[in-house]
C-alpha cells in the first residue's frame, strides 16, 4: 500500500517535468503527505494537462457518505477494472499524483521501521491514480486514489505491496484523453517496467501526520 509520501520540489521543476503550461495554484511542498489531505494531481482535460489539488481518499460519485474516502486511499491495480468503485474511472478518469518519495514501514522483531523510498536518481515521479467528482447539494469534492501492485524485487523485503510509479515517458499515456476499456487500462499497468528505487531508514518521528519538517526525511545513522 501507500499511506504517506513527500513532495519537496520547486513549482517550476514540477511544471517542466510534467509539461504544465500554467502555474500551480497554492502549491506547497510537504515532507509528510497523509490521507485526507489535498494532494497535487495532474489530469488531461482533452485540450491540455492541468495541475491542481484533490483530496487523497476516493469518494465515488455515487457514495452517500464522503467519509468512505478514508478507506479508499489505495486501489489494487489487479482488480480495479472489475470493482464498481474504480471500473468507470479506469476507463476515463485517470490521473497522475506527483511525488518525489514515499514512506513504507518494514516489520521487524523490534517493531516497524519507517523507510523513505526514492527513485534511484532521486527525481520527481508520478503515481498512477484515479479520480472522481462527488457532489451533494452545494458540497463538491474532487478526490483521488493511488493504484498499487505486488511488490517488486526491491520492495519485497520492505512490504508486500507498493504504489505504481509510472516510468518516464509513460505518464502522458496514462492520462491521455482516451476512453479505454477498463481491461485495457489494467493491461497498460501490467505492462509497465519497474522504476529503479533506493531507500534509507528514517525516524519514527514521521509516524505522526502532524509532523511535517526536514526531520521526517533525515536518514538514520545506521540502516
Determine, yes or no, domain membership for 222: no
Point out the catalytic residue in the list 2, 95, 144, 216.
2
DSSP string, the chain: ---EEEE---HHHHHHHHT-SS--TT---EEEE-TTSEEEEEEE-SSSEEEEEEEES---TT-S-GGGGGG-SEEETTTTTTSTTTHHHHHH-EEEEEESEEEEEEEETTEEEEEEEEETT---EEEEEEEEEEEETTEEEEEEEEEEEE--TTTTTT-SEEEPEEPTTTHHHHT-S----HHHHHHHHHHPPPPPEEEEEB-GGGGSTT--SGGGTPBPS--
Give the pLDDT of residue 222.
59
Q: In this structure, is residue 223 part of a structural domain?
A: no
Total domain count, the chain: 1
Q: What is the mean pLDDT of the chain?
A: 95
Task: For residue 173, name the pLDDT band (cuts at 50, 70, 90).
Answer: very high
Which of 95, 104, 144, 171 is flagged as catalytic?
104
104 belongs to the catalytic site: yes
Residue 221 lies in a domain: no
Provide the grid cell at 121.
Answer: 536518481
Q: Give the tens place of pLDDT for each residue, 89-124.
A: 999 999 999 999 999 999 988 899 999 999 999 999
The answer to the question of residue 189 being in a domain is yes
The enclosing domain of 120 has a CATH number of 3.90.1680.10
* Enclosing domain of residue 187: 4-216
State the pLDDT at residue 1: 76
Is 11 known to be catalytic? no
pTM, 2 dp: 0.96
Lowest mean pLDDT among 36-40, 105-109, 131-135: 105-109
Amino acid at each position: 500500500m501507500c499511506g504517506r509520501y513527500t513532495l519537496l520540489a520547486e513549482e517550476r521543476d514540477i511544471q517542466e517535468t510534467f509539461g504544465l503550461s500554467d502555474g500551480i495554484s497554492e502549491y506547497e511542498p510537504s515532507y509528510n503527505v497523509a490521507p485526507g489531505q489535498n494532494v497535487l494531481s495532474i489530469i488531461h482535460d482533452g485540450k491540455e494537462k492541468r495541475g491542481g489539488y484533490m483530496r487523497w481518499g476516493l469518494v465515488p460519485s455515487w457514495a452517500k457518505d464522503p467519509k468512505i474516502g478514508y478507506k479508499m486511499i489505495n486501489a489494487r491495480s489487479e482488480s480495479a477494472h472489475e470493482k464498481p468503485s474504480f471500473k468507470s474511472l479506469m476507463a476515463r478518469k485517470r490521473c497522475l499524483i506527483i511525488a518525489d518519495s514515499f514512506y513504507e514501514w518494514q516489520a521487524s522483531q523490534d517493531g516497524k521501521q519507517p523507510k523513505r523510498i526514492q527513485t534511484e536518481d532521486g527525481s520527481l515521479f508520478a503515481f498512477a491514480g484515479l479520480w472522481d467528482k462527488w457532489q451533494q447539494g452545494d458540497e463538491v469534492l474532487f478526490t483521488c486514489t493511488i493504484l498499487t501492485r505486488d511488490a517488486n524485487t526491491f520492495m519485497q523485503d520492505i512490504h508486500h505491496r507498493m504504489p505504481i510509479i509510472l516510468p518516464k515517458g509513460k505518464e502522458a499515456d496514462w492520462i491521455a484523453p482516451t476512453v479505454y476499456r477498463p481491461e485495457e487500462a489494467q493491461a497498460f499497468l501490467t505492462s509497465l517496467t519497474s522504476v529503479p528505487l533506493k531507500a534509507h531508514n528514517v525516524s519514527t518521528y514521521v509516524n505522526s501526520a502532524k509532523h511535517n519538517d526536514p526531520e521526517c526525511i533525515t536518514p538514520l545513522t545506521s540502516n
